[in-house]
Amino acid sequence: MLTTIIYRSHLCDDVPVKALESMVAAANLKNGRADVTGILLFNGTHFFQLLEGPEENVKAIYQAICHDKRHYNVVELLCDYGPSRRFGKVGMELFDLREHDKDDVLQTILDKGTSRYQLTYHDRALQFFRTFVEATEKENYFEIPSADSWDFIPTDDARTVSLASVSSDAYCGFAFQPIIDPLTQEIVSLEALLRTRSGGSPQNYFECLSGDEIYLADLDSKKIAFALAASLGLRDQVLSVNLLPMTLVKVPDAVTVLLNAIAENGLVPEQIIVEFTEREAISEFEAFSQTVRTLKGSGISVAIDHFGAGFAGLQLLAQFQPDRIKINRDLVRDVHKSGPRQAIIQAIIKCCTSLEIAISAVGVEQPEEWMWLESAGISQFQGHLFAEPCFCGIPAVAWPEKKTAL
Ligand SMILES: Cc1cc2nc3c(=O)[nH]c(=O)nc-3n(C[C@H](O)[C@H](O)[C@H](O)COP(=O)(O)O)c2cc1C
């Protein structure tokens, strides 16, 4: 299948522009053998390349390009399929934008096209050429440093309690994981993540339950979460707990049950965030929003968890605006390499900024993911990069520290 990949990247400072000539010559030969064609634009700082050809070959060459140390911050902008090549003749021509007149550079590039049809602006690939040449997206290029420019240094204040000390017949347990602001070194909130008594997953906890038992067990488990949090010496730390949206609808007096459990453990509603998980659609929206109003009226904040996954999407946000959203791991994964993920997250940030909704990104595992998200304007993070969930305990946090140049 004829495949097109477009990416942009940044030339490394220590690579002389002259060295590109030999690279282009070698690439031309390799592309020719692999039946891959395309064009490479360079503006003095950034590259922009379109590669076209058989899927396997285009992807193999793109992989090699991604690992090339002569450039960095390689961001895939488009991967698409089509009936014919746009730049069929050119093996891999380097086109230096600085050598062409600004006003007709785009036309000069388009004139190199070999498509049977006139190359038009309606084509997504060619629209990308336009935005690169006209530099209209340049403010969205975040030039993040390499992953090894930071050390992640764990604190030594991790602590645990035994589940039995909290409740002799506890039917579930919780692991705690912090949501942090890495640059101010502040723990924004601690999330209580449901586990079985022995530390198994929430799926294990729910699998033997059916019908409305699930909602009762969901609500009841929060009593253990609050008791564990109090026993861990939470004091005025903010605590996040998860709730299925339908628990609020299906269990009568769910809010009173929560408030009683909060008070019994010496906590206050203002320090609690209820995060709604995305696993199920909210079928009785009116009843749900009525209970959310009661929750908010009691001082508890609300968040949409896993925003961007399952039912926690734009439609839910249009219906109901929480105090915060947590961007799902699937959107965060490899965000520094993916144009589509970057565009979606930037749109979420813009939307939440307009609505004064706080944002955190979850499932952050790589330094580059964190650095890109921080550059885009997110300051609160949760993920293994900083701290893993700790069963019945508060884990150490690995705070980032910038390495100093020797
Ligand atoms: C901006 C840029 C564009 C490149 N374009 C191509 C290309 O179109 N085809 C290619 O084979 N190599 C290209 N390369 C080089 C590859 O990254 C890599 O060095 C090469 O595929 C390795 O080939 P080899 O393993 O056969 O030596 C490019 C490198 C850079 C920095």
Domain locations along the chain: 2-140, 147-402
Residue located nearest, by CA, to atom 13 of ligand 1: 27
| Neighbour count for residue 97 (Cβ, 10 Å) | 19
121 C-alpha to ligand 1 centroid (Å): 28
Q: Average pLDDT in the 99-121 region? A: 78
Q: Are 394 and 176 in contact (CB under 8 A)?
A: yes
**C-alpha pair distances (Å), 246 with each of 99, 174, 278:** 62, 21, 11
Residue 71: band (very low, low, confident or very high) from pLDDT cuts 50, 70, 90: very high
Who wins on pLDDT, 137 or 97?
97
**Is any atom of ligand 1 closer than 6 Å to the C-beta of 68?**
yes
Q: Rounded to the nearest whole angstrom, what is the distance from the C-alpha of residue 326 to the centroid of ligand 1?
A: 38
**5 close to ligand 1 (CB < 6 Angstrom):** no
pLDDT average, residue stretch 231-259:
94
Mutate to test the pocket of ligand 1, among 61, 62, 90, 96 (most ligand atoms within 8 A of CB): 61
Is the distance from the beta carbon of residue 40 to the nearest atom of ligand 1 less than 6 Å? yes
Average pLDDT over residues 274-292: 85
Any atom of ligand 1 within 6 Å of the Cβ of 31:
yes
CB 254 within 8 A of CB 291: yes
CATH number assigned to the domain covering 2-140? 3.30.70.100
**Which pLDDT score is estimated for 93?**
85
Q: Over the chain, what is the mean pLDDT?
A: 93
Name which residue sits closest to atom 6 of ligand 1, judged by CA: 27
Query: Nearest residue CA, atom 21 of ligand 1?
Result: 64
Q: Which two tokens stand for residue 191?
A: 């999330």
Task: Decide if pLDDT at 338 tops 80.
Answer: yes
Q: How far is the CA of 4 from the centre of ligand 1 (A)?
A: 16
Taking the centre of ligand 1 as the mean of its atom positions, its distance from the CA of residue 91, in whole angstroms, is 12
Angle at 155 between CA 225 and CA 224, to 5 degrees: 5
- What pLDDT is stored for residue 229 in this prediction? 97
* Confidence band for 76, pLDDT divided at 50, 70 and 90: very high
**339-354 and 367-376 helices, crossing angle to 10°:** 40
Instruction: List the CATH code of the domain at 147-402.
Output: 3.20.20.450
Give me the pLDDT at residue 120, please. 62
How does residue 92 score in pLDDT terms, banded at 50, 70 and 90? confident
Pocket test for ligand 1, best of 15, 20, 68 (most atoms within 8 A of CB): 68
What mean pLDDT is predicted for residues 235-243? 95
Looking at ligand 1, which atom is closest to the CA of residue 92? 8
HEC-encoded secondary structure of the chain: CEEEEEEEEEECCCCCHHHHHHHHHHHHHHHHHCCCEEEEEECCCEEEEEEEEEHHHHHHHHHHHHCCCCEEEEEEEEEEECCCCCCCCCCCEEEEHHHCCCCCHHHHHHHCCCCCCCCCCCCHHHHHHHHHHCCCCHHHCCCCCCHHHEEEEECCCCEECCHHHHCCCCCCEEEEEEEEECCCCEEEEEEEEEECCCCCCHHHHHCCCCCCHHHHHHHHHHHHHHHHHHHCCCCCCCEEEEECHHHHHHCCCHHHHHHHHHHHCCCCHHHEEEEECCCCCCCCHHHHHHHHHHHHHCCCEEEEEEECCCCCCHHHHHHCCCCEEEECHHHHCCHHHEHHHHHHHHHHHHHHHHCCCEEEEECCCCHHHHHHHHHHCCCEEECCCCCCCEECEECCCEEEEECCCC
Our CA angle for 249, 250, 255, nearest 5°, is 60
State the closest ligand 1 atom to the C-alpha of 38, by its place in the atom list counted from 1. Answer: 8
Atom 9 (ligand 1) nearest CA: 27
Q: State the distance from the centre of ligand 1 to the C-alpha of 106, rounded, in angstroms.
A: 24
User: Does the C-beta of 30 come closer than 6 Å to ligand 1?
Assistant: yes
pLDDT for the residue 50:
96
